[in-house]
Chains A and B, each alone.
Chain A
Amino acid sequence: MSTDLKTEPAPEPGRTQGRFDGVLREIVMGNTLVAVLSVVLAVVVGSLMILLTDETVRETAGYIGARPSDFLNAMWTAISDAYTALFNGAIYNTNVDGFETRIRPLTETLKYAGPLILAGLGVGLAFRAGLFNIGGRGQMLLAGAAAGWVGVGMDLPLALHLPLAVLAGALAGALWAGLAGFLKAQAGAHEVIVTIMLNYVGYYLVFYALSKQGLLQAPGSLNPKSQPMPESVILPKLLGDRFNLHAGFLLALAAVGVVWWLLNKSAMGFRFRAVGENPDAARASGIDVGRTYITVMLIAGGLVGLAGVNQILGTATSGVTVDLDAGIGFDAITVALLGRSRPLGILAAGLLFGALKAGSFSMAAAEGIPVEIVLVIQSLIVLFIAAPPLVRAIFRLPKEATA
């Protein structure tokens, strides 16, 4: 390849780069405009789906030639009702009285955002070290089960019980993810495959524990569910009992700060990033790549584990079930990608997806739109964001000077 034509910096085509060439680099470093446009595009597609499946719209489309205004009105009603419901459910409800009730949706958004941020940090941190952590579901389940086990299995004062349960959860998540890191370091087992498989292994392990008297199953019960969490391990409510927002959100904020310091300021984060960008060069520079993989996965799993803890000790305290992850393990991947694996980006992405989640329930209740519309929008956002040239082409933006 011709690379030495000029001495001043110049973009060089066809150069072999580290494994972060292209996509992952764009995820980590791409620009914010593309992120915003991706969200816009995804919302447009989501709107189209609502329109296409709306009964009134389809009926009016039948006689569109005769009365086009009916059709347009129906379209407008379907869309505006949907997004009004979304707004009412996620930010500020104008349909009720009293500021406290009206602002309640915002606190719900924050409640949903907490675990998304925590798990998103776990996925994003691993990304920065070049690892795909697709094992969020398994890590959350084991973390939830461990925290729940400490919760129902021990009888301790609040000051001790809650921290111990949180710690147990984080530790369980860390070890479950660390196993994938260990297998990658020792045997070169691809972490994508291992974490996917560990999701299912974890699922069945927790399922087994929940089906077995003496392990986690509530005494005398036949359902795969544990007892409810006792008061002494429940994360305190932040705004009093009228709101569901609990201390899990503070945990998430603290985690954002810690991960930010780790990645941007610490020597350990420097090594994480070096391994992520070019493991060969890292190894030749005396960085123990294997140990880095294990460390990163332990921390990442701990963060995802905290998301599980947030669920069982904060949001869904009625007992451990195999559904306690509530899809957050996979949502976290989209959060990390939208947030470009940077802590502050993940914070923003977590808040956005938290709002979508909170709003989707009110959309379902008010307009009968299935909550899964959020999954569609979420995954479209990530697809668009991962392909900036596509977004640029759709919006007819100029190409970036350096690809």
Chain B
Amino acid sequence: MTLELRGITKRFGPLVANDRISLTVNEGEILALLGENGAGKSTLMNVLYGLYQADEGEILLDGEPLKMAGPGDAMAAGIGMVHQHFMLVPVFTVAENVMLGNESTGFAGTLDLDAARQRVREISQRFGFDVDPDALVETLPVGVQQRVEIIKALSRDARVLVFDEPTAVLTPQETDELMEIMRQLRESGAAIVFISHKLREVRAIADRITVIRRGAVVGEASPTATNAELAALMVGRPVELTVHKEPAQPGPDAFVVEDLRVLDDTGHVHLDGIGFSIARGEVLGVAGVQGNGQTELTEAIMGLQRHVRGSIRLGDHELAGRTVRKVLDAGVGFIPEDRQVDGLVGEFTIAENLMLNRSHGKPFVSAGTVRRGFLEDFAQRKLDEYDVRASGIQARASQLSGGNQQKVVVARELSRDLSLLVAAQPTRGVDVGSIEFIHKQIVATRDSGVPVLLVSTELDEIVALSDRIMVLYRGQVVGIVPADTPRETLGLMMAGERPEGSAA
């Protein structure tokens, strides 16, 4: 069995997301699709899965063209997908999610839940999963939810399986387990497409690698290629995989967190009595798999969490329990993890976004009125300084690319006098050029004597930028270790194992 995509082109208005892409995957083979954020990988897979209709080109299964009007057709053809953002209904049980769209029914359309439970158990056993068919999906850890996604695809007898950035939410160990599952599937004869931008993982699992850049296939590579070769192919020019920085010159501790506890509205504990400190001129990296308390940590510092106990001291200021405005006034800069949700107002102009957190007084506001002239001069300067590519300061933020949006956020935060910078996932969904720029800005901020808290789920980013690394696991600090700690050790720590002789 062979799946072939031939000359797929997909346009969104003037934007060409996929430009005559062709690729083939055979049974018993893992094809990796490698590309930067926004290179067009997901669009291509959505075309393959019938969620988008291609403007040109065709999809062939064993040489027969497939008619793809929707995901139903893809599934009927034996194509299954494990989505990056799980396509599971949170308030349904595992069995209900697995049967959805493919229900076995009895009299008058009555659901046959027992059959679905049986199917879940069957597939779980085959792959050694431990999944309760009656558990509500929203109560399951992300790793298990991903397995439900896999069960869902397999329950429809998928022979081609697409994994879309499946490791983003997994620990290194869970990633290893996932790769084992993928190998198992390969052995059983499935054709697998593995989409990723992580060089290491691609090299570890793929039989062949296809590289996509700006919507077009730019080359094939073998898994034996080096990281540098793959990166250059992916970006289109040689890339420096390391960030140049001088050794830190840490000053006295300026930011001290003690016994921080954060709970949510249902009383669930997200941070369980953590403590750490950051010196002036130091970057403390927070490593960990997504969902282990990182979001709550940055939000607790910013005053965005409701139930915060313990102490967060910045110099002489106590920040715990303060409003966001007081925290900002204390000189905390904040790059939120999701710029489109928390960082920018999409319908506001670049200029307006640049004054978003300073609408309460000088220098942008006087006598309750916005000083338009001053704001426009300021915005023009920042546009040039931060190399934001836009039609002008009146361009709406939603019209910018991800990298340029992030630069607007960074420009806003770094143009104040800071006494602490909190950067959460500062380069998520950003092109490599912008990543390099933003990394330089973070290092420069450190060098100016500001303590920096850097949160990222990309271990490479943490290792490249941090002076010390703190690993969070289930709301607790596993350890705080030097930046040159081996990756294997960090990986084990991200799974909750305490390293020998580390101070928590």
Contacts and interface: CB of A to CB of B under 8 A. Distances in A.
Nearest to A1: B42
B215 A284 contact: no
B447 interface: no
A4 B346 contact: no
B285 interface: no
Contacts of A274: 345, 348, 352, 356, 359
B359 A7 contact: no
Contact of A18 (B13, B345, B356): B345
B350 to A, nearest CB: 10
A401 to B, nearest CB: 8
A67 interface: no
Contacts of A280: 341-342
B400 A278 contact: no
Contacts of A265: 369-370
B389 A7 contact: yes
B343 A6 contact: no
B345 A13 contact: no
A9 B390 contact: yes
A283 B215 contact: no
Interface in B282-340: 302, 304, 323-325, 327-329, 334, 336, 340
B497 interface: no
Interface string A371-403: 000000000000000000000000000000110
A281 interface: yes
Interface in A308-322: none
Contact of B340 (A16, A266, A286, A401): A16
B387 to A, nearest CB: 10
Contacts of A287: 324-325, 359
A287 B352 CA distance: 14
B332 to A, nearest CB: 10
A278 B39 contact: no
Interface in B11-27: 12-18
A2 B356 contact: no
Contacts of A278: 341, 344-347
A280 B334 CA distance: 14
Given A267-B370, A281-B356, A2 B43 contact: yes
Interface string A22-34: 0001000100000
B324 A267 contact: no
Interface in B377-414: 389-391, 395, 398-404
Contacts of A10: 13-15, 399, 401
Contacts of B304: 283-284
Contact of B370 (A4, A29, A270, A402): A270
Interface in A263-280: 265-268, 270-271, 273-274, 277-278, 280
B356 A266 contact: no
A267 B369 contact: yes
Given A2-B215, A281-B356, A286-B357, A9 B345 contact: no
Interface size range of chain A in the complex: 35 or more
Nearest to B10: A2
B491 interface: no
B431 A4 contact: yes
A184 to B, nearest CB: 16
A100 B84 CA distance: 72
Contacts of B323: 286, 288
B342 A281 contact: yes
B357 A4 contact: no
Contacts of A9: 389-391, 395, 399-401
B496 interface: no
Contacts of A268: 368
Contacts, number: 162
A266 B368 contact: yes
A282 B43 CA distance: 31
B347 A25 contact: yes
Given A12-B12, A270-B359, A286-B357, A277 B347 contact: yes
Interface string B28-62: 00000000111110110000000000000000000
Contacts of B15: 2, 5-6, 10-13
A177 to B, nearest CB: 22
A95 interface: no
Contacts of A402: 13
A387 B328 CA distance: 41
A6 B390 CA distance: 11
A4 B342 contact: no
B340 A17 contact: yes
Nearest to A29: B347
A323 interface: no
A13 B13 contact: yes
Nearest to B396: A9
A268 to B, nearest CB: 7
Nearest to B371: A267
A15 interface: yes
A3 interface: yes
Given A271-B359, A277-B346, A2 B42 contact: yes
A20 interface: yes
A274 B365 CA distance: 15
Contacts of A1: 38, 42-43
Contact of B324 (A21, A270, A284): A284
B359 A4 contact: no
A402 B327 CA distance: 38
Contact of A7 (B334, B344, B370, B403): B403
Contacts of B401: 3-7, 9-10, 12
B143 to A, nearest CB: 25
Contacts of A12: 12, 15, 398-399, 401
Contacts of B389: 7-9
A282 B402 contact: no
A36 B430 CA distance: 42
A12 B399 CA distance: 7
A286 B345 contact: no
Contacts of A15: 340, 398
A379 B327 CA distance: 47
B429 interface: yes
Given A2-B42, A266-B370, A285 B324 contact: yes
A6 B431 CA distance: 10
Contacts of B340: 15-18
A317 to B, nearest CB: 37
A286 B430 CA distance: 25
Nearest to A285: B357
A29 B355 CA distance: 22
Nearest to B336: A284
B12 A11 contact: yes
Nearest to A25: B347
Nearest 7 A-B pairs (CB), nearest first? A4-B38, A285-B357, A286-B325, A13-B12, A284-B342, A9-B399, A267-B365
Interface of A: 1-18, 20-21, 25, 29, 265-268, 270-271, 273-274, 277-278, 280-288, 401-402
Given A4-B401, A5-B214, 17 more contacts: A1-B42, A2-B15, A2-B38, A3-B429, A4-B39, A4-B402, A5-B16, A5-B215, A6-B401, A7-B389, A10-B13, A11-B14, A265-B370, A266-B369, A280-B342, A281-B341, A284-B357
16 contacts: A1-B42, A5-B16, A7-B403, A12-B399, A12-B401, A13-B12, A21-B346, A265-B370, A270-B352, A278-B344, A278-B347, A283-B342, A284-B357, A286-B323, A287-B324, A288-B325
Interface of B: 12-18, 36-40, 42-43, 214-215, 302, 304, 323-325, 327-329, 334, 336, 340-348, 352, 355-357, 359-360, 364-365, 368-370, 389-391, 395, 398-404, 429-431
